[in-house]
Amino acid sequence: MLPGNMMDRPLTVPSILDFAAEIHGDARVISARVEGDVHRYSYKDAHKRVSRLAHALRALGIGDGDRVATLAWNGYRHFELYYAISGIGAVCHTINPRLFEDQILYIVHHAEDRVLFLETSFLPLVEKLADRLPPDLRFVVMCAAGDLPETGLNVLAYEDLLAGQPDTIIWPDLDERQASGLCYTSGTTGNPKGVLYSHRSTLIHTMGLLAVGQSIGLSPERSLLPVVPLFHVNAWGLPFAAPLVGTDFVLPGTRLDGPGLFAFMDQEKVNTSWGVPTVWFGLLAEMRKHGRKPNGFDCVLIGGSAAPKPMIEEFERDFGVTVVHGWGMSEMSPVGSVGVFYARQRALPEEERMHLKTAQGRRMFGVEFKIADGEGTRLPHDGVAFGELHVRGPAIMSAYFNDEAATDGAFDDEGWLKTGDVARIDPNGFLFLVDRTKDVIKSGGEWISSIDLESAALAHPDVAECAVIAVPHPKWVERPLLITVLEDGSRLTAGEMQDFLGGKVAKWWLPDDVVFVDELPHTATGKLSKMTLREKFRDYRLPGV
């Protein structure tokens, strides 16, 4: 091998904020605070506060590899923690507060967290868990001393921690392969599993996002609001991508319902927003109510679970908001594909273009795809064959954090990560998720896609949300059951729903029954919890069975 003669400088997280402060210093971070007001400052100002926080962490005795946990909403202090913790060589461990209490306890103990930073709104939760948390865990409440609620815990106030610290810093020389962040999966089966990101993986993932940045709202002189939380998988990489390119970063705090989002996006003239379909149901309802979209809103990225075609059509046709579909996993940093359209796709007839919008897009730079059958044989990317999707790349997990049992079986013999998604890939590289391996319905030796059936059902104007699960059948093994939440005032019947689906899906795909419920369960990350539905309906008897 002939080595190149290039400098070997590490790719590290704090270099992003250094660059943003110097080159995009006037771009802003705008936050809806738990205190009720809106906080605004520039990336240059953020850099000064991050420097103070980094010095304060060192004063607390935090060093290389120490895990520092957060229980926080999308706000500027959480953003600061992302950079200060990893910048000194420690690991930023974001905890999802929507997890079950036992899962939070497991995560804190498994990660061996040294300090927990928490919002005031999470104090009651932490007080309740205090006796079962590590005895040496320290607590910092993310507020000023004057806003600190009464508590029996021994706590520090965030702003007191920063007071008197220098607002400049020389970052330590870090190895780009050392850990920078830690996120645990939601743990729908067994204990949550930790994914440990490195500085290198984070930078490579960020550059992959910026390769398509203009089309997904990442550009200077635009603003972007992540509804996807900072407490889950790095908010899809946005806390790194937005400052690197100079995008105004608008953080909604606790304003995550339809009315709250609409009002805040309208007030701040947000151009782009990223989040899961569940959130967009609420925002679309508010947009219908107002008869318009929020001021300045023109692009939405939808990921986390498949966006139904009716949702895509309503955003684009009724409100002029471009939809970009995306897909990824915690184990992938997380974005794996984005549905960016170029001239060829934009020129397609509307129906073809809308169909292609339902795809999860094409792989991001740094991510490779393959699909394989049950025996591990690689299948062609012909748009017809489908099998389990496998991925590999420099920003994709190589093992779960301190969890050999979870790591075993997560990879195939060639070292590719098995995603658990059933997919097909067309000759142009567009990824179409057919289903999760555990959600696909196996009926009479054939597969029925719950995702496609849900999308067809959501086209009915009376359907607010729905889910399709498999229920046992003595002859066909499994048959689909459609579980539906109706719009207020609707009197839709099961027979009418089945008649509606009759012309939209194959006859043998039609659900054997339709059940109406007031609400559907969701996971801690906002996805439909089909595991909960399967448990609830495990003894359900289909008509005539």
Paired sense of beta strands 223-226 and 248-251, if any: parallel
Task: Give the C-alpha separation, 199 to 11, whole Å.
Answer: 6
Query: Phi and psi (nearest 5°) for 103?
Result: -70, -40
| Domain end among 217, 248, 279 | 248
Is residue 282 located within the same domain as residue 240? no
Q: Write out pLDDT tens, residues 282-334.
A: 999 999 999 999 999 999 999 988 888 889 999 999 999 999 999 999 999 99
User: What is the rounded average pLDDT of the residues 429-442?
Assistant: 87
- pLDDT classification of 72: cutoffs 50, 70, 90: very high
Is residue 191 located within the same domain as residue 264? no
Question: SS3 letters for 42-62?
Answer: EHHHHHHHHHHHHHHHHHCCC
Q: Write out pLDDT tens, residues 165-186.
A: 999 999 999 999 999 999 998 7
- pLDDT classification of 442: cutoffs 50, 70, 90: confident
For residue 334, tell me if it sits in a domain. Answer: yes
For residue 483, list its beta bridge partners.
467, 515
For residue 500, tell me if it sits in a domain. Answer: yes
For residue 326, list its beta bridge partners.
338
Is residue 92 located within the same domain as residue 168? yes
Task: Give the C-alpha separation, 41 to 135, whole Å.
Answer: 37
| Domain end among 407, 437, 467 | 437
- pLDDT classification of 474: cutoffs 50, 70, 90: confident
- The total number of structural domains that make up the chain: 3
For residue 210, tell me if it sits in a domain. Answer: no
- pLDDT classification of 526: cutoffs 50, 70, 90: confident
**Quick one: DSSP state of residue 466?**
E
Measured at the CA of 504, the angle between CA 502 and CA 506, to 5 degrees, comes to: 70
Instruction: Give the domain range for residue 379.
Output: 255-398+417-437
The CATH number of residue 113's host domain is: 3.40.50.12780
pLDDT over 60 at 227, yes or no: yes
Q: Give the least confident one: 266-270, 316-320, 438-442, 531-535.
A: 438-442
Give me the pLDDT at residue 438, please: 81
DSSP 456-496: HHHTSTTEEEEEEEEEEETTTEEEEEEEEEEPTT----HHH
Is residue 242 located within the same domain as residue 287? no
Is residue 348 located within the same domain as residue 236? no
Is residue 320 located within the same domain as residue 433? yes
| Burial (0-12, 13-18, 19+ Cβ within 10 Å), 178 | middle
Task: Give the C-alpha separation, 452 to 455, whole Å.
Answer: 5
Is residue 297 located within the same domain as residue 236? no
pLDDT over 90 at 353, yes or no: yes
Q: Which helix (H) or strand (E) holds 499?
A: helix 494-502
Is residue 235 located within the same domain as residue 261? no
For residue 476, tell me if it sits in a domain. Answer: yes
The 3-state DSSP class for residue 379 equals strand
Is residue 29 located within the same domain as residue 95? yes
Q: Write out pLDDT tens, residues 18-44.
A: 999 999 999 999 999 998 999 999 999
Give me the pLDDT at residue 187, please: 55
pLDDT over 70 at 365, yes or no: yes
For residue 407, tell me if it sits in a domain. Answer: no
Is residue 238 located within the same domain as residue 275? no
For residue 543, tell me if it sits in a domain. Answer: no
Residue whose C-alpha is closest to residue 201's, from 229, 220, 175: 175
Is residue 383 located within the same domain as residue 455? no
Token pair recorded at residue 148: 């600190």
* Comparison of pLDDT for 529 and 6, the residue scoring more: 6
pLDDT over 80 at 444, yes or no: no
**Quick one: DSSP state of residue 505?**
S
Task: Give the C-alpha separation, 141 to 161, whole Å.
Answer: 10
Is residue 386 located within the same domain as residue 459? no
CB 364 within 8 A of CB 211: yes
pLDDT over 90 at 497, yes or no: yes
- The CB density around residue 8, as the number of other CB atoms within 10 Å, is 6
CB 129 within 8 A of CB 101: yes
For residue 7, tell me if it sits in a domain. Answer: no
For residue 405, tell me if it sits in a domain. Answer: no
Give me the pLDDT at residue 189, please: 60
The CATH number of residue 488's host domain is: 3.30.300.30
Residues involved in catalysis? 185, 331, 442, 447
